[in-house]
Amino acid sequence: MAEQVTIGRIGEYVDQVVSIKGWLYNRRDKGRLQFLLVRDGTGTIQAVAFKRDLEPAAWEAAAQVTQESSLVVTGIVRADDRAPGGYELGITDLEIVQMAGEYPIALKSHGVDFLMENRHLWLRAPSQWAVLRVRATVIRAVRNWLDDHDFMLVDAPILTPAACEGTTTLFETEYFGEKAYLSQSGQLYNEAAMEAFGKVYCFGPAFRAEKSKTRRHLIEFWMVEPEMAYVDLEGCMEVEEQLVAHIAQEVLAHCRPELEILERDVSKLEAITAPFPRISYDDALKILAEAGEPLDWGEDFGAPHETVLGNHFDRPVFVHRYPAQCKAFYMAEDPVDPKLSLSVDLLAPEGYGEIIGGGQRAHDLALLERRIAEHKLPQEAFAWYLDLRRYGSVPHSGFGLGIERTVAWMCGVHHIRETIPFPRTMGRIYP
């Protein structure tokens, strides 16, 4: 075996004999000439076998190997315009590691149900490879940006004693004889961490047992939630736009091959630069009325409204100061108009809707107690949370950014179930 290399770096090995350990993506049989498309996780390369150039055993392996068999292929790297990707491997030897049986996923279109039933194999498809590589890049960009801007990672618990927000349906489990719930947000714990460490974030899964059946909902999804002491609504928006712009730049910088596979219009990503437009809820109602999607004051946006607002601008748009009645109990009150909350959502263009929800939190003890009562939440469950307002309460803000929605937007994929390796959707927990 020659030096083992990865396809992602194959351009560094032109005219050298190398080995690639991978899997057979596809084979085109031309008789005494075989084209093998080999992938190794970092990319795909065409390997070419001529019968007269090979030992009989190696030729036989090249002629027999089945789709998705694992193999080690050795040959000379050539630059060739006829090859997809510009490089090909002139095979000198081929060893089959495991001969795959008839592979379920043919190289043609399939239905969603079938692909989801075979998600463990579908991950190998070029489109899914590309989306999940973008996901990894998005997550890396988020963590690097926050780490580089003095945010401290403080993870929140998954098992919780009560609802964080009291709105969505929770997954119930049992905790040594007591009821417990899977976390729907790290938000409240973040606020405790914020008073200990200043600027913090948690990054983890969230669970919502809503029977949602739309392209922008998952039962289990990942969320990054920064929380910042002594930061007001305006400061919160500044952090959000810097973070989102950085994500787009990192995807553009590191995921060109992936975006090409996904046929993503990169000009849409290049447009994602700060500052983002800021409109109030009241401004948004005017835009909606003009666009023929009128909404009564006090109503929250539905999917069509978010789409109209997102498409009204060429970059993400902040909508701030929603009526207090359509936001969570912990949002701060607008001192100018107490009917409004100091909340802000970030809506993405192209119909991807709400990417971020957040805003300034209520830091006044009396207001928070009143809100908990208004929302008919159990006061005792929030005793520790109210303590945060008794001992050194400060104005503070935070937000939650949905990883899957962001990845779907970056990739231009229609449904967020493709942006997580093993999606949990309503009625599906296999594989």
By CB under 7 A, name the one of 44, 67, 74, 137 that touches RNA. 67
Of 349 and 402, the one with the shorter C-beta distance to RNA is 402
- The answer to whether the beta carbons of residues 62 and 34 sit under 8 Å apart is yes
By CB under 7 A, name the one of 35, 189, 329, 382 that touches RNA. 35
Of 277 and 390, the one with the shorter C-beta distance to RNA is 277
- How far CA 46 is from CA of 23, 49, 107, 222, 251, in Å, comes to 12, 10, 16, 36, 26
Of 109 and 267, the one with the shorter C-beta distance to RNA is 109
Of 59 and 382, the one with the shorter C-beta distance to RNA is 59
By CB under 7 A, name the one of 15, 213, 296, 376 that touches RNA. 213
For residue 426, state whether it binds RNA (rule: CB under 7 A): yes
Binding mask 75-104 for RNA (x = CB under 7 A): -----x-xxx---x-x-----------xxx
Q: Which stretch binds RNA (CB under 7 A): 11-19, 28-36, 246-254, 257-265?
A: 28-36
For residue 44, state whether it binds RNA (rule: CB under 7 A): no
CA dihedral over 424, 429, 430, 431, signed as positive or negative: positive
How far apart are alpha carbons 245 and 241 in whole angstroms? 6
For residue 304, state whether it binds RNA (rule: CB under 7 A): yes
For the record, the structure tokens of 253 come out as 């910088």
Which residues ranging from 224 to 283 are in contact with RNA (CB under 7 A)?
A: none
For residue 211, state whether it binds RNA (rule: CB under 7 A): yes
For residue 217, state whether it binds RNA (rule: CB under 7 A): yes
Q: Which stretch binds RNA (CB under 7 A): 108-116, 270-278, 359-367, 386-394?
A: 108-116
Burial level of 120, CB count in 10 A (0-12/13-18/19+)?
exposed
Cα distance between the two ends of the chain: 36
Of 278 and 415, the one with the shorter C-beta distance to RNA is 415
Of 2 and 326, the one with the shorter C-beta distance to RNA is 326
**In the block, residue with structure tokens 């031309």:** 30
How far apart are alpha carbons 388 and 355 in whole angstroms? 28
By CB under 7 A, name the one of 127, 212, 249, 311 that touches RNA. 212
For residue 50, state whether it binds RNA (rule: CB under 7 A): yes
Residue 311: CA count within 13 A, CB half-sphere: 10
Tell me the closest approach of the beta carbon of residue 100 to RNA, in angstroms.
10
For residue 32, state whether it binds RNA (rule: CB under 7 A): yes
The count of residues interacting with RNA (CB under 7 A) is 75
Tell me the closest approach of the beta carbon of residue 213 to RNA, in angstroms.
4
Of 176 and 359, the one with the shorter C-beta distance to RNA is 359
**In the block, residue with structure tokens 């970092």:** 42
Q: Which stretch binds RNA (CB under 7 A): 139-147, 164-172, 173-181, 381-389?
A: 164-172
For residue 292, state whether it binds RNA (rule: CB under 7 A): no
How far apart are alpha carbons 94 and 78 in whole angstroms? 17
Single out the residue of 90, 86, 201, 203 nearest to residue 138, CA to CA: 203
How far apart are alpha carbons 86 and 177 in whole angstroms? 62
By CB under 7 A, name the one of 12, 29, 265, 290 that touches RNA. 29
Which residues ranging from 384 to 403 are in contact with RNA (CB under 7 A)?
A: 400-402
Given the DSSP bridges, would you call strands 199-207 and 152-153 parallel, antiparallel or unpaired? parallel
- The answer to whether the beta carbons of residues 185 and 135 sit under 8 Å apart is no
- The answer to whether the beta carbons of residues 355 and 404 sit under 8 Å apart is no
Of 167 and 175, the one with the shorter C-beta distance to RNA is 167
- Rg of the Cα atoms in the chain: 26
Single out the residue of 275, 215, 267 nearest to residue 417, CA to CA: 215
Element (H, E) at 385: helix 383-390
Which residues ranging from 165 to 204 are in contact with RNA (CB under 7 A)?
A: 165, 167-168, 185
How far apart are alpha carbons 405 and 221 in whole angstroms? 9
For residue 359, state whether it binds RNA (rule: CB under 7 A): no
Of 104 and 235, the one with the shorter C-beta distance to RNA is 104
Element (H, E) at 397: strand 396-402
By CB under 7 A, name the one of 262, 354, 363, 385 that touches RNA. 354
Tell me the closest approach of the beta carbon of residue 63 to RNA, in angstroms.
9
Of 15 and 391, the one with the shorter C-beta distance to RNA is 15
Four-point Cα dihedral 142, 360, 288, 305, nearest 10:
50
For residue 323, state whether it binds RNA (rule: CB under 7 A): no
For the record, the structure tokens of 298 come out as 């006090």
For residue 16, state whether it binds RNA (rule: CB under 7 A): no
